[in-house]
Structure 1
């Protein structure tokens, strides 16, 4: 088994707006080892979210290769990408994206509805995920009954309930105060260290980036500086 989980080789991404071709990436290369925790920083418009979307198979490159565990996911069709995401990727967003009409347990269960699991197995997996994020006692609570930090914990439980190898986090603490943000980041660090999750986190916050093992700085579609950080 290779130590490399994700590899981008000569990746290009562009789109056409009117008569103008707008290039986001040109010949972008990137390697993410298995079990890494990478923070990606950069100014607005530098391509951070586009990169995250390509890593998660939500967006595809215009040219170049994206490999996950040795498989070329840039060659997958939509159906293959959907199954690959379901099996291997968990997403964590800034604004939680919880369903307000569902309680915590039901929100966490959503990714499992795509899998051939019995109701009892789904219930067991949901309970385990909520236990990991210390919200077992909030399983029946609705998003409106929880704080922002608790809602983000539910979102993390939803992201890990399928036991994905890769967690993609887009400004996961951008809507939280410093104390709660640090709790969420410490939880991500724990998922990385104790459960071996590979994490890629987009953030504008240097304090958040310090929780990662390393930080990559993206500017105008290129990595301009690489700064190794202690976890």
Structure 2
């Protein structure tokens, strides 16, 4: 069930300077995402999908306009403030998992907590809980090379959940997986949305993946059109 607005973009413009050229990705873009929403974002290459995720996650800042999260401005925070804000509020899930190959599953999941004030015992408890949630408690000591792609993505989801963020940002989370494994991961994301109330924004090129979301937005030439709304 969706609630009050969690994220609000107002008149957001994003431009990059490349040599003598200025490239406009967004020009006065607006978007509101209620708490508990699950939004799939689709669109052609170069339409700004990844830039949008970077703006929502505080990795990038708008050239103009404002970004509000849970009632507070994000676009005015310093780099240090943004790092702390991300550590507590945002979980990232990527296409290629982004796991550290020299660390076990448990240590990979623990990484975001190293930016917090949690002690070792609390970190261990949270890691065990997160791995159990994704069904990989018994693989805690295994390394990425010892796991399938689907298992690695489950570890990445556990890592994204470790700080209990309000927002999950997913960039093609099933793009490197076969259909069966992709559906398992997507079903897990839908469960996190429905049962735990996580707000999810997922960039995908896959219409089948988009069906798991509550609604689909199509991004093209810096503008959104809403294609689908699921009750």
Q: Which runs of 5+ in 2 are unaligned?
A: none
Provide runs of 4+ in structure 1 moved above 2 Å.
228-231
Partner of 1:98: 99
Q: Offset at 1:114?
A: 1.2
Q: Which runs of 5+ in 1 are unaligned?
A: none
Whole-angstrom CA distance in 2 between matches of 1:132 and 1:39:
23
Per-residue CA deviations over 1:3-58 (Å, capped at 9, x if unaligned) read: 00000000000011111111000010000000000000000000000000000000
Residue 173 of structure 1 aligns to a residue whose secondary structure is coil
Alpha-carbon RMSD across the aligned residues, in angstroms, is 0.9
Partner of 2:210: 209
Whole-angstrom CA distance in 1 between matches of 2:65 and 2:117:
34
- TM norm structure 1: 0.98
Partner of 1:195: 196
Per-residue CA deviations over 1:48-94 (Å, capped at 9, x if unaligned) read: 00000000000000000100001110111101111100010000000
Residue 99 of structure 1 aligns to a residue whose secondary structure is coil
Partner of 2:185: 184
- TM norm structure 2: 0.98
- Whether 1:227 and 2:227 are equivalent positions in the alignment is yes
Partner of 1:169: 170
Whole-angstrom CA distance in 2 between matches of 1:148 and 1:4:
34
Contact kept in structure 2, 1:53 and 1:59, CA below 8 Å = yes
Whole-angstrom CA distance in 2 between matches of 1:177 and 1:229:
26
Once the two structures are superposed, the pairs formed by residues 55-204 of structure 1 within 5 Å of their partners are: 55-204=56-205
Contact kept in structure 1, 2:84 and 2:115, CA below 8 Å = no
Whole-angstrom CA distance in 1 between matches of 2:72 and 2:103:
36
Tell me the number of residue pairs that the alignment of Structure 1 and Structure 2 aligns.
Answer: 229
Q: Offset at 1:220?
A: 1.1
Per-residue CA deviations over 1:84-120 (Å, capped at 9, x if unaligned) read: 0001000000000000010100100001111111111
Residue 176 of structure 1 aligns to a residue whose secondary structure is coil
Whole-angstrom CA distance in 2 between matches of 1:116 and 1:55:
24
Per-residue CA deviations over 1:166-206 (Å, capped at 9, x if unaligned) read: 00000000000000000000000000011110000000000
Residue 92 of structure 1 aligns to a residue whose secondary structure is strand
